[in-house]
Amino acid sequence: MTWFFIALIGPFMYALTNHIDKVLLDKYFHKGGVGTILLLSSFIAALILPVCFFADKTVFAVGGVQIIALAVVGILNVMVLWCYLLALKEEEASIVIVFYQLVPVFGYILSYFVLGEVLTKLQLLAMAIIIFGTTIISFEIDEENKFKLRTKTILPMLAASFFWALGSVIFKAVALEENVWRSFFWENVSLFLVGVIIFIFMRSYRTSFLSVVRGNSKVILFYGVVNEFLYILGNLAFAFAYMLAPVALVLLTDSFQSIFAMLIGIFLTIFLPKISTEKIQAKYIWPKIIAICITGIGTYILFMK
> pLDDT (tens digit, 9 = 90+) per residue, 1-57?
577 888 889 889 999 999 998 888 887 776 667 888 888 888 888 888 898 888 888
pLDDT greater than 60 at residue 150: yes
pLDDT greater than 80 at residue 200: yes
Question: What is the structure's pLDDT at 1?
Answer: 58
Q: What is the pLDDT of residues 99-136, one digit of tens each?
A: 988 888 888 888 777 667 777 888 888 889 998 988 88
Using a CB cutoff of 8 Å and minimum separation of 24, what contacts does 24-30 make? 24/220, 24/223, 24/227, 25/85, 25/88, 25/89, 26/276, 28/212, 28/216, 28/219, 28/220, 28/223, 29/208, 29/212
pLDDT greater than 60 at residue 175: no
Return mean pLDDT, the chain: 83
pLDDT band at 225 (very low <50, low <70, confident <90, very high): confident
Question: What is the structure's pLDDT at 237?
Answer: 87
Assessment of whether the complete model's pTM goes beyond 0.75: yes
**Mean local confidence (pLDDT), 198-216:** 84
Q: What is the pLDDT of residues 251-294, one digit of tens each?
A: 678 778 888 999 999 999 999 898 888 888 888 898 899 999 99
pLDDT greater than 60 at residue 176: no
Instruction: Kindly provide the residue ranges of all beta strands, DSSP E only, lying in 227-298, ordered along the sequence.
Output: none
Question: What is the structure's pLDDT at 69?
Answer: 80
Q: Which of 179-183, 220-224, 262-266, 295-299 has the highest mean pLDDT?
A: 262-266
- Alpha-carbon distance 99 to 96, whole Å? 6
What is the rounded (10 degree) CA torsion for 243, 244, 247, 251? -120
Number of domains in the chain: 1
Question: What is the structure's pLDDT at 144?
Answer: 65
Question: What is the structure's pLDDT at 266?
Answer: 93
- Alpha-carbon distance 131 to 291, whole Å? 10
Domain span holding position 102? 2-302
